[in-house]
Amino acid sequence: MEQVQVILPDGSERTYPAGTTPADVAKDVSSRLAREALVAKVNGRLVDLATPLEGRVELQIMTADDPEGLDTLRHSTAHLMAQAIQRLYPGTKLAIGPTIENGFYYDIDCPQQLSSDDFAVIEEEMRKIVKENLPIRREEIPKAEAEKMFRELGDVFKLEILEDLEDGSISLYRQGEFVDLCRGPHVPSTGRLKAFKLLSVAGAYWRGDANRPMLQRIYGTAFAKKSDLDAYLERLEEAAKRDHRKLGRELDLFSFRDEAPGFVFWHPKGYTLYRTLEAFSREIQERYGYEEVSTPWIFRPQLWETSGHWQHYRENMFIIETEEETMGVKPMNCPAHCLLYKRETRSYRDLPLRYAEYGPLSRFELSGTLHGLLRVRGFHQDDAHLFVREDQIEEEIGNVLAIIDEIYSTFGMSYKIKLSTRPEDFMGEIETWNRAEAALARALERHNLPYTLNEGDGAFYGPKLDFDVTDALGRSWQCATVQLDFQFPERFDLTYVDQDGREKRPVMIHRAILGTIERFIGIITEHFAGAFPTWLAPVQVRTIPVSVRHHDYGQEVDRKLREAGLRCEFDERNEKVGYKIRDAQMQKIPYMLIVGDREAEEGTVSVRHRRDGDLGSMALDEFVSRVRAEIESRAL
């Protein structure tokens, strides 16, 4: 009788009879693993728990504690939702239903326009299907048979997907009357799917093409335990409170208008925040020898053809047709900085040369992808390009890493690093790419910085380091990027004269640390929930007189605060002092100075902090010294 030899993750080996499945092995290992098992990895490949094992295999049983297990649970919940919708709304056609970070979605063509008001009914039907505990079974049939089946079902979307698949065996998954075209794997039965929540509905073009049908995209999430789901929903609720678009309105920071979609209108307070952040970036860069420049924002196509953007990036650019000439609005500064470099003969002594620019950039983003400050069409970067000798790469990358660490630590944000390597549409020679990737890896290792490889996600002109920062809610945001480029110097014919008198090519380092300033402000608005540290707050102090007769003293306090360089407001409204304090709290102003009879007589101020409450009475000079020290240290 044939046997199966199973190697478990701890290295132990067990022998089973032919036909044994991962589910059988889970039962043999422990009753708890059998209860929690969702999917298996056999020789590195994910499979259903009911898959028969053959020969000698390495086996890992996955639960919701494993990323692959949780992903499978969510994929199966997407099918559960689709089945419930088809039961409730006959005639619904299904497009695609993948998992995404923290959940899943399904694009559907439903006879009824759905809204969040329908979610309770859909979820109730999903719970009924869970109670039915329907087995989820995989089937493999010839492609022609699958086409016949979906043609009879009238599912045009599945038929189109089938057209793109090679002839041969096609995998389907069934649960009760429901059938879906799917690669799998899935959990064993609908009874495993108990903790889920539908979150939102949006429009989505079929295959992302604005010329194709508009579908309804239903988003949801799922967990193995209700406690995990509840914790996630609490985080979502907190994130909604911190939504930068909501806070932007409440704190009067910025707005968007239909007259300029994707472009930001900065209000006075928001622009103060913007300029403070920009000044912080400038201060650090000047310490590291950066020179600030400003270049045009519209160029003829020849520049973009030389850089390669016309061939690789044109669909993301704003194109202007004028006087029978085509022009391109710049989406990035690097080609212009190459022109600046090339304006004179360079010596090896001139390098490294560090150009920084904060000017406007524009990229065409589809209207459906715009999202507050996080996805815009017009933006500014703390952009810089370094022209270096090859022997200077590691030192200069090290300096950039030091700047990144200083900036992110100032905001109390940790980060992770990804090394993104050569993409499919790369420019240049593979040997050059290998040298560039190795140089980035050496720089990270030299500074003892851990990183992960992100294969194939480099820019078309060079590999890069991507920095994912983590905010106060534990969410990850891709911000800084550092790109090493051997291609642009070649394409722009950039040279320097080496010490032996021969011309050589410099290497170019592209880097942005905040990323786009607009997006970074959106991120830190949510990170701080709008309660910016005092050094960054648009208004740092608000003086609140107890009554009208205290206005003269209050205005004197306000004047002295301004003379000390603090950003302040004087609340002269004829309102009760309690109302004024609550309003300052709502505006998240760090300090409130309440002045009444005693303060006016003693020349003091009664200090209140938005977080710490009443700090007592103190001399104005003492308060100013205290706040200035807090600002200078950029304390959180």
pLDDT in tens, 42-84: 999 999 999 999 999 999 999 999 999 999 999 999 999 999 9
Percent over 70 (pLDDT), the chain = 100
* Contacts with 350 (C-beta within 8 Å, 6 or more apart), sequence order: 496
By annotation, the residues acting in catalysis are 334, 363, 381, 383, 385, 464, 510
CA distances for 278 relative to 197, 373, 410, 529, 556, angstroms? 41, 16, 14, 20, 31
Q: 615: pLDDT confidence band, cut at 50, 70 and 90?
A: very high
Which pLDDT does position 153 carry in this prediction? 86
CB atoms within 10 A of CB 396: 23
As a whole number, mean pLDDT of residues 340-363 equals: 95
Is it the case that residue 459 has pLDDT exceeding 90? Answer: no
Q: Which of 63, 80, 68, 373 is nearest to 225 (CA)?
A: 63
* Token pair belonging to 298: 């519209």
Is it the case that residue 424 has pLDDT exceeding 90? Answer: no
Which pLDDT does position 1 carry in this prediction? 54
Cα–Cα distance, 345 to 506 (Å, whole number): 12
* Contacts with 274 (C-beta within 8 Å, 6 or more apart), sequence order: 266, 517, 521
Is it the case that residue 284 has pLDDT exceeding 90? Answer: yes
Tell me how many degrees the CA angle 41-46-52 measures, rounded to the nearest 5.
75
SS3 114: coil
Tell me how many degrees the CA angle 598-602-604 measures, rounded to the nearest 5.
90
Cα–Cα distance, 422 to 220 (Å, whole number): 34
Which pLDDT does position 487 carry in this prediction? 86
State the chain's mean pLDDT as an integer. Answer: 93
Is it the case that residue 261 has pLDDT exceeding 80? Answer: yes
Which pLDDT does position 457 carry in this prediction? 86
Which pLDDT does position 43 carry in this prediction? 94
Residues of 90-109 as b/e, b for ≥16 C-beta within 10 angstroms? eebbbbbbebeebbbbbbbb
As a whole number, mean pLDDT of residues 232-249 equals: 93
Q: 367: pLDDT confidence band, cut at 50, 70 and 90?
A: confident
Q: 119: pLDDT confidence band, cut at 50, 70 and 90?
A: very high
SS3 17: strand
Which pLDDT does position 474 carry in this prediction? 87
Of 178-182, 229-233, 308-312, give the lowest mean pLDDT range.
308-312
Q: For the whole model, what pTM was predicted?
A: 0.82
Element (H, E) at 184: none
CB atoms within 10 A of CB 395: 12
As a whole number, mean pLDDT of residues 596-608 equals: 95
Cα–Cα distance, 569 to 574 (Å, whole number): 15
As a whole number, mean pLDDT of residues 467-496 equals: 91
Which pLDDT does position 337 carry in this prediction? 97
Cα–Cα distance, 187 to 38 (Å, whole number): 5
Is it the case that residue 368 has pLDDT exceeding 80? Answer: no
Element (H, E) at 233: helix 226-242
Is it the case that residue 363 has pLDDT exceeding 90? Answer: yes
Amino acid of residue 514? L
Which pLDDT does position 462 carry in this prediction? 83
